[in-house]
Structure 1
Amino acid sequence: MEIRSTVRTADRTGIEMEALTAVTVAALTIIDMVKGIDKLVAIRECYVEEKSGGRSGTWTRPSA
């Protein structure tokens, strides 16, 4: 399963934490819903894939 979050802000920086929080809360909600069916359900990866704007400009996570 893949969960994505897209966020926008008028501020210059720091919005990636809100995106990570949104994805993590969604993943925890899904875990809560399926834990009775699958005891091994887990969050495996949570990362920022792309970021644009701010002082750093555009950044894209390198492929593994």
Structure 2
Amino acid sequence: MGKATTDKNSQVNFLKQRLNMFLDVLDAIDPAETDLDDIDRLLSILDDMESKCREFDNREASEPVS
């Protein structure tokens, strides 16, 4: 795996990239051909992003104040 993202700007950039990728996937989906598995995968991607937001928030809260 890659290096942990600890810098606030890096975290925001990471989340922006993930969101943009998600939006690209949404744009590419043909509603007439989308099935339940596709929707479940989209929900999973959103859950992953939400989890990453919580992880970043918890990481920031646990860092010592200088």
**TM-score, scaled relative to structure 2:** 0.43
Specify which structure has the higher proportion of helix: 2
Specify which structure has the higher proportion of strand: 1
**TM-score, scaled relative to structure 1:** 0.44
Q: Which has the higher contact order (CA 8 A, sep 6+)?
A: 2
